[in-house]
Amino acid sequence: MADIPDIQQESSCIVTHDYTGSGKSLWSAALPTDNPPASTGSHNATYDYLLYGEVLKSSAEKTGLGSLFYVEFQIIQAPGKYETLDSWISVDSVGGPFASSALDKTFVPIVPALTFGDCHYTYVWSTPPNADLAVSPTSTVYGPLPPPAVGNTFPVTVTLNIDAGWACHNVTFDLVYNSTVVSVTAWTVDPLWGSNAVTNGVGDLNVVVWAPTSTPSGAVLIITVTFTVMYQGAYPAADDISPLDLTNIVLWDTSAMIPFDAPTNGLVTIHPLLTLQPSYKLVSSATMGPGPAVGQHFNITVSWMNLDPAWFGIGIDFRLSYDPFYIVPVAVYEGKFLPYYAALQPGSLGTWFYGMDQPGDPFFGDHVLVGNLIFPNATGRWNAPFPDSLPAATPDFASIAIIEFEVVYQSFGEANETIPLEIIDNHIIGLENPLADPQVITYILENPAINGSYTITTSWPGRMLDIYTQYPAPFGGQGLGMPSDMFWPQKQVELYANVTYNYWPVQQKDVAFEIRDPSNNLWAVLVARSDVDGVAHTIFRIPWPCDDPELLFGVWTVKATVDIACIVVNDTLQFHFDYLVEIFKVTTDKFQYNHCEYVNVTITYGTHAQQIYPLVLYVVIKDELNVPIGIAFVSTTVGGTVFCQYKNYTAKVAIHIDKFAFAGIAKVYVTAYNMLPSLGGSAWCPTYGDGWPIGATIPEIAIQPY
Residues 286-314 pLDDT 10s: 999 998 999 999 999 999 999 999 899 99
How buried is residue 590: exposed, middle or buried, by Cβ count under 10 Å (0-12/13-18/19+)? exposed
Please say whether the beta carbons of 123 and 78 come within 8 A: yes
Amino acid 83: pLDDT: 79
Cite the DSSP H helix spans in 211-328: none
H or E element that contains 511:
strand 510-516
Please say whether the beta carbons of 617 and 637 come within 8 A: no
Q: What is the mean pLDDT of residues 320-340?
A: 97
Amino acid 94: pLDDT: 45
Q: What is the mean pLDDT of residues 637-666?
A: 96
Domains defined along the chain, listed by start: 2-124 (2.60.40), 132-270 (2.60.40.680), 280-456 (2.60.40.680), 463-577 (2.60.40.1930), 582-703 (2.70.50.60)
Amino acid 170: pLDDT: 96
Q: What is the pLDDT of residues 529-586, one digit of tens each?
A: 999 999 999 999 999 999 999 999 999 999 999 999 999 999 999 999 999 999 999 9
Please say whether the beta carbons of 167 and 125 come within 8 A: no
Q: What is the pTM of this model?
A: 0.55
CA distance 149 to 142: 6
* 32, pLDDT greater than 90: no
Question: Could you tell me how many residues make up the chain?
Answer: 706
Burial 395-416 (b: 16+ CB within 10 A, else e): beebbbbbbebebeebeeeeee
Amino acid 44: pLDDT: 67
Q: What is the mean pLDDT of residues 457-483?
A: 95
Please say whether the beta carbons of 455 and 285 come within 8 A: yes
Q: What is the pLDDT of residues 516-530, one digit of tens each?
A: 999 999 999 999 999
Q: What is the pLDDT of residues 158-217, one digit of tens each?
A: 999 999 889 899 999 999 999 999 999 999 999 999 999 999 999 999 999 999 999 999
Query: Distance of CA 539 to CAs 22, 52, 499, 552, 576, Å?
Result: 115, 127, 17, 18, 17
What residue type is assigned to position 379 of the chain?
A: T
CA distance 308 to 444: 11
Amino acid 12: pLDDT: 59
Peptide bond preceding 243 in cis form (omega within 30 of 0): no
CA distance 657 to 594: 8
C-alpha dihedral, 218 to 224 to 230 to 233, nearest 10°: 30
DSSP summary character for residue 408: -
Greatest CA span in the chain, whole angstroms?
172
Q: What is the mean pLDDT of residues 218-240?
A: 92
CA distance 225 to 186: 6
CA distance 16 to 397: 90
CA distance 131 to 217: 10
Phi and psi (nearest 5°) for 206? -90, 130
Amino acid 73: pLDDT: 77
Nearest to residue 55, comparing CAs of 35, 69, 27, 25?
Answer: 35
| CA angle 117–120–121, rounded 5-degree value | 145
* 17, pLDDT greater than 80: no
- From the CA atom positions of the chain, what is the Rg in Å? 51
Phi and psi (nearest 5°) for 677? -55, -35
H or E element that contains 22:
helix 20-23
CA distance 134 to 121: 40
Query: Distance of CA 672 to CAs 504, 619, 644, Å?
Result: 45, 9, 22
CA distance 425 to 442: 17
* 345, pLDDT greater than 70: yes
Name, in order, each residue with C-beta under 8 angstroms of 463's C-beta and a sequence gap of 6 or more: 500, 501, 564, 565, 567, 569
H or E element that contains 20:
helix 20-23
Nearest to residue 196, comparing CAs of 170, 227, 160?
Answer: 170
pLDDT interval class at 695 (50, 70, 90): confident
CA distance 2 to 447: 88
CA distance 481 to 572: 5
* 77, pLDDT greater than 80: no
* 21, pLDDT greater than 80: no
Instruction: Decide the pairing of beta strands 170-176 and 510-516.
Output: unpaired
Q: What is the pLDDT of residues 388-398, one digit of tens each?
A: 999 889 999 99
H or E element that contains 498:
strand 492-501
Cite the DSSP H helix spans in 272-355: 337-344
CA distance 285 to 661: 62
User: What percent of the chain shows pLDDT beyond 90?
Assistant: 73
* 136, pLDDT greater than 80: yes
How far is Cα of residue 167 from the mean position of the Cα atoms in its chain?
52
* 230, pLDDT greater than 70: yes
How far is Cα of residue 362 from the mean position of the Cα atoms in its chain?
18
Q: How far apart are the first and last CA of the chain?
A: 158
What residue type is assigned to position 639 of the chain?
A: G
Comparing 59 with 464, the larger pLDDT belongs to: 464
Please say whether the beta carbons of 299 and 403 come within 8 A: yes
What residue type is assigned to position 641 of the chain?
A: T
Name, in order, each residue with C-beta under 8 angstroms of 362's C-beta and a sequence gap of 6 or more: none
Nearest to residue 175, comparing CAs of 155, 195, 150?
Answer: 155
Phi and psi (nearest 5°) for 625? -100, 20
Q: What is the mean pLDDT of residues 14-30?
A: 67
In 10 A of CB 679, how many CB atoms? 9
User: What percent of the chain shows pLDDT beyond 70?
Assistant: 90
Burial 226-265 (b: 16+ CB within 10 A, else e): ebebbebeeebeeebebbbbbeebebbeeeeebebeebeb
CA distance 38 to 61: 22
Amino acid 186: pLDDT: 96
- C-alpha neighbours within 13 Å on the C-beta side of residue 164: 3
Nearest to residue 559, comparing CAs of 497, 493, 514?
Answer: 514
Q: What is the mean pLDDT of the chain?
A: 90
Query: Distance of CA 311 to CAs 101, 400, 420, Å?
Result: 101, 17, 29
Instruction: Decide the pairing of beta strands 567-577 and 170-176.
Output: unpaired
Instruction: Decide the pairing of beta strands 280-283 and 351-358.
Output: unpaired
Which of 54-63, 344-353, 494-503 is predicted with the least confidence, judged by mean pLDDT? 54-63
